[in-house]
Amino acid sequence: MSNYFEIYDIPESFLLDEKALKNTYYKLSREYHPDFYANEPQEKQQEILQLSTRNTNAYRTLSDPDLRMQYILKAHGILEEGKNEIPSDFLMEMMDINEELMELEFDFDADKFHEIGEKTNGVVAQLDNDILPVLQRYPELHGVTKDEALQQVKTYYLKKKYLLRIQETLSKFAARS
């Protein structure tokens, strides 16, 4: 079973040419359209249906930056269910934000709400900024092995997911106020 990058004949990468990806998706969608195989034997029709489904799944995964990142990390066995450690220094940093969120639950304060939002956005921006060079150069890395780079991306991915939960909590507050 070939991987999603092979289906589109592109190198494994965290940053893709979205337009080229979409063009290839459409090209394959036309190529594997069931209508063109209506007179073929059942076996051939089944095969085309599988290729069509795989094309759709591949596009859905690769066109979404988060799903693409998750896909690459899982493909290399870097991201495993239930075995993903978020660095403790980051969790300590987030503990303050979580405590502030709990306080907002009991006593909503618009200024505090905006302050937490700003702080969270700042952490996300910093994370994005720090990981960008790794994403841009992957897999051609200098001074870092591919495995080390994937570990850095994994840490980024887990932190970002954590921050997303905080941002979702904040947006629930925003809906209430």
138 dihedral zone (left: phi>0; alpha: psi -120 to 50; beta)? beta
| Mean pLDDT taken over the chain | 92
> Given a cut of 90, is residue 132 above it in pLDDT?
yes
- pTM of the predicted protein model: 0.87
DSSP annotation of 2: -
| Band of residue 49 on the pLDDT scale cut at 50, 70, 90 | very high
Least confident of 9-13, 66-70, 78-82, 93-97: 78-82
Closest CA to 103 of 112, 111, 94: 112
- List C-alpha distances in Å: 72 to 85, 114, 158: 18, 35, 14
d(CA 92, CA 96): 7
